[in-house]
Amino acid sequence: MSRYTPSISSQEWTENLNATVTPGQRSGYGPIEKLLVSDTALLAVVSNLFGNYSRPELLEHISWFFVQVFAPLVTSDIYSAMYRVKSAGDHQHRIFCSTEVEAMFGPLVASLYAANRFSAESRQILDNDFTDVGFTVRDKIASLSSVDNATLNFIAEKLATAHTVLWPPPDLNNGTSAVMHANFSMKHTFVESWIEARRNTMRLAHSGPTFERELRVVRNYRLPFFAYDYLTNSVLVSLASLGDRAFVQFKGTASMRFGGIGFEYARQLVRAFDDVGLRVDSQGNVRDRPLSSLAINPSECAIMGGDGIRELPALEVAYAAFKRRANESTLRTMKKYSEEEVFFITACFNLCRQPTTMRGVFAGGCNEAAANFAPFSQAFNCHKGATMNPTKTCSYFN
């Protein structure tokens, strides 16, 4: 760790991890541990903070930040002062209180939301789509001839055992929630109730595996709505990602479903065999050495940077899953566009609304995967050499 955080010693990391983080079934963290880090740049920032500020100074800044974030628990006047319009301040205060209630009672809120909005039929439709995406990516991996057997077997095991975390456990509606929240009590004020609930939530999180499945429900009030957890080999899907369009997509054509939610799901599942995924097995154990990388060389194709390299295999997988189900219905989404065009329009629309493609160094580069995918140019009749059908393209699986 000293390589990434020179201002924080390994001993200090170990002492603080043991004081604040539960190490599973073990008694504590030792001097030799494998840590999986998704963003080394964040470690560099932490190191700079600890190198340039004393502990009291950092605590002072964190305290002031805490006050700014949670002061609205006491009064809504803060938002009114910020927005200068009482109605806007009141609206923002309601949003704030709603997110804090979900933070306190997340599994219960998710369970009630899902029970009221999604029938068994609609859940099954979505589960089947996710299963199809999983089968498709496994077939794609199995067909690779340029990858050694050890790597193929490793990936096949991960994909076969991958989990999807979306629907709250059914037992939450059958008494489990009452047991979980038995020690949660409403106090005289919302602030007191909030403090008590936060403390009880932490106790639940450190109570071992008893409520582990229930507590894994994905938060619905913050991005990202889709994620992949390397250590548990799970695709995490927020109920908020379904939103008001859920009924349309569940009942809609395969082009809408696989171009939308199916593609977003595939974007996360392919992380199982990216450069980080190849270092973590299906049980969450970190390998000493990574297996052979499957990543393509960006210099060999039209992809310039950003997430395009990850999105290309996801697009290939989602499109193949869509083609398998394209004949399930004779309905057409729009008269103006073919179902293949609808698939790509939906996928590109979702990609271009990602935080990384709306702003930052990769803004505007959201169609790179589509530009490298031959079925896209065929669907829209893009001539060779056009922006969306460049002369030099590449494929991930072929």
CA angle in degrees (0–180, nearest 5) for 44-46-49: 110
Residues 148 and 294 occupy one common structural domain: yes
More confident of the two residues 279 and 208: 279
Same-domain check for residues 131 and 94:
no
Q: What is the pLDDT of residues 130-188, one digit of tens each?
A: 999 999 999 999 998 888 999 999 999 999 999 999 998 876 766 677 777 777 777 77
Q: Are residues 231 and 346 in the same domain?
A: yes
373 and 245 in a single domain? The answer is yes
Domain that holds residue 40: 10-101
Residues 6+ apart with CB under 8 A from 314: 263, 266, 267, 269, 270, 369
Tell me the sheet residues that pair with 228. 235
Q: Do residues 164 and 274 share a domain?
A: yes
Between residues 75 and 361, the one the model is more confident about: 75
- Look at residue 188 and tell me if it is in a domain: no
Residues 77 and 129 in one domain: no
Q: How confident is the model at residue 222 (pLDDT cuts 50, 70, 90)?
A: confident
Residue 110 belongs to a domain: no
Residues 371 and 258 in one domain: yes
How far is CA 65 from each of CA 70, 102, 197, rounded to the nearest angstrom? 9, 21, 21
Cis peptide before 298 (omega within 30 of 0): no
Q: What is the pLDDT of residue 308?
A: 64
Q: Is residue 324 part of a domain?
A: yes
Q: Are 282 and 233 contained in the same domain?
A: yes
d(CA 57, CA 55): 5
pLDDT band at 113 (very low <50, low <70, confident <90, very high): confident
Which amino acid is present at 352? Answer: C
Residue reference for tokens 């998704």: 38
Instruction: Confirm whether 85 is domain-assigned.
Output: yes
Q: Mean pLDDT score of the chain, rounded to an integer? A: 84
18 and 86 assigned to the same domain: yes
Q: What is the pLDDT of residues 245-260, one digit of tens each?
A: 544 445 678 898 899 9
What's the domain count of the chain? 2
Q: Does 177 map to a domain?
A: no
Same domain, 313 and 372: yes
User: CB under 8 Å to 254, separation ≥6 — which residues?
Assistant: 322, 325, 326, 328, 329, 339
How many Å apart are CA 199 and CA 185, to the nearest integer?
A: 11
Residue 209 lies in a domain: no
Please report whether residue 256 resides in a domain.
yes
What pLDDT, on the 0 to 100 scale, is given for residue 358? Answer: 54
Q: For the purposes of burial, counting CB atoms within 10 Å of the CB of 291, is it exposed (0-12), middle (13-18) or buried (19 or more)?
A: buried
Determine, yes or no, domain membership for 392: no
Nearest-angstrom CA–CA distance, 308 and 298:
9
The CATH number of the domain holding residue 265 is 3.40.390.10
Please report which helix (H) or strand (E) contains residue 164, including its range: strand 163-165
Residues 332 and 261 both lie in one domain: yes
pTM for this structure? Answer: 0.85
Beginning with the edge strand found earlier in the chain, give each strand of the sheet holding 163-165 in spatial order.
163-165, 234-237, 226-229
Q: Which residues contact 398 (CB under 8 A, 6 or more apart)?
A: none
Q: Do 31 and 130 sit in the same domain of this protein?
A: no
